[in-house]
Amino acid sequence: MKLSDCYKIVRKRTESICSPLQTEDYVVQPVADVSPPKWHLGHTTWFFETFILRPYFMGYKEYDPQYNYVFNSYYETVGNRVIRTDRGNLSRPTVIDIYRYREYMDEAMDKFLCQEPSAEVRELLILGFNHEEQHQELLYTDIKYILGHNPLFPAYSKDYVSQKVAEHADGKFIKLKEGIYEIGFAGDGFCFDNELGRHKVYLNAFEISSDLVTNQEYLAFINDGGYQDFRHWHAEGWDWVNKNHIVSPLYWHAIDANWHNYTYNGLQPLNLKDPLCHISYFEASAYAAWRGLRLPTEFEWEAAANLLKWGRRWEWTESAYLPYPGFVKAAGAIGEYNGKFMVNQQVLRGASEVTSPGHSRITYRNFFQTHLQWQFTGIRLAK
């Protein structure tokens, strides 16, 4: 497929995710970790303008010089920016302004892509596609948080259907032998820099569950007083539970002695067979301890991935987010993409039901802080 066609597909999908929203939905930022949908629309546009058009398209006229300050996310190399917590305070530019910005920049990109780009630009373009796909998933998760914390629990769309159907295996544990396994990306195609540095690791014999933990299984942990028993928790996790009065996964609500949870279709009775979702690493680890089991390391997960049915939930691992051997940050702003975050984060593997098509692979290393629940996170156990 031509790069110009890939570009159009990616950009169209971002806007289709936002199509069910009302204007007011685009502006809300309930917490610091959630960005307003209109900011995602502007930021992904700014990425192509900043890293492709401005340096490589002769004669390109920047849409609005102030937008660099508004839509820069974390790139120190590119200049100052609005702090993350203030993204929801930006009543201007308006939603209409941002869609006009996207249209202006897309027209310029259409002209730019009429010519065959250099190898360097081609690499940046493909990074830009993958960057926007990351924000498509963030749009889904942020929209769910925005609407799921509205006291009316409005549906995102009554027609929403999960892209990935739940598949339940036999509930058994798969055994893998001790030995040396190769970890990391190899071959052709795109990957992020944190997947590079393919290397060997020695793993002891282990077993990993063929299934994700379900809502019903996790409910047993709740009913057994799991959130009230310090023995299952890391010290920091126990502090988090008590300080924030955590008693269940995100979006769960006990109504008339029955559990419900917020979904894209609105508030629904809890489906006990669905894989558990929206839990922190603290909760995942505590549940595993309650079961007398553990979470897999990211290396165990990758070694076993071809034997698993994965893709419904991002799966917490027992691995801290660290560089692979030989990891080197790229020069300039692109070097700020992953390496600067390799501290105080935990690795997740797999994908989720809102991961963009074609954006999943066995070597993909997602990462989040241990207390965050708003991503589509779940549990796979190991022993």
**66 and 190 both lie in a single domain:** no
Same domain, 89 and 220: no
Q: Are 266 and 153 contacting, i.e. CB atoms less than 8 angstroms apart?
A: yes
First to last CA, the chain: 44
> In this structure, are 261 and 331 located in the same domain?
yes
Which residue blocks in 114-179 are alpha helix, DSSP H? Answer: 119-148
> 21-31: per-residue pLDDT in tens?
999 999 999 99
Instruction: Specify the CATH number for the domain of residue 125.
Output: 1.20.120
| CB-CB contact of 291 with 277 (8 Å) | no
Q: Do 277 and 190 belong together in one domain? A: yes
| 96: containing domain | 3-148
Considering the domain architecture, whether residues 195 and 86 belong to the same structural domain is answered as no
Q: How confident is the model at residue 168 (pLDDT cuts 50, 70, 90)?
A: low
pLDDT for the residue numbered 368: 97
pLDDT, tens only, 252-278: 999 999 999 999 999 999 999 999 999
Of the pLDDT bands very low, low, confident and very high (cuts 50, 70, 90), residue 164 is low
Residues 32 and 95 in one domain: yes
pLDDT tens digit sequence for 263-317: 999 999 999 999 999 999 999 999 999 999 999 999 999 999 999 999 999 999 9
| 233 & 344 share domain | yes
For residue 277, what are its two tokens? 């979702």
Give a yes or no: residue 323 inside a domain. yes
As a whole-number percent, the residues of the chain with pLDDT over 90 amount to 92
The verdict on 245 and 181 lying in the same domain is yes
User: What are 30-68's pLDDT values in tens digits?
Assistant: 999 999 999 999 999 999 999 999 999 999 999 999 999
Determine, yes or no, domain membership for 61.
Answer: yes
| Shared-domain flag, residues 233 and 84 | no
Give the residues across from 175 on adjacent strands: 207
The pTM (predicted TM-score) of the whole model is 0.96
Whether 92 maps to a domain, the answer reads: yes
Backbone phi, psi, residue 235, to 5°: -60, -45
Specify the CATH number for the domain of residue 206.
3.90.1580.10
Instruction: Report yes or no on 166 lying in a domain.
Output: no
3-state DSSP assignment of residue 199: strand
Distance (Å) of CA 286 to CA 93, 272, 318: 44, 20, 12
Give which of 167, 143, 123, 154 is closest to 273, Cα–Cα.
Answer: 167
Question: CB of 9 within 8 A of CB of 37?
Answer: no
Please name which of 92, 29, 30, 90 lies closest in space to residue 82, comparing C-alpha atoms.
90
136 and 197 assigned to the same domain: no
For the segment 101-125, the average pLDDT, to the nearest whole number, is 96
Q: Quote the radius of gyration of the chain (alpha carbons, Å).
A: 22
What is the model's pLDDT at position 57? 97
Whether residues 112 and 48 share a domain: the answer is yes
The answer to whether the bond into 93 is cis (omega within 30° of 0) is yes
Residues 117 and 181 in one domain: no
Q: Give domain status of residue 267, yes or no.
A: yes
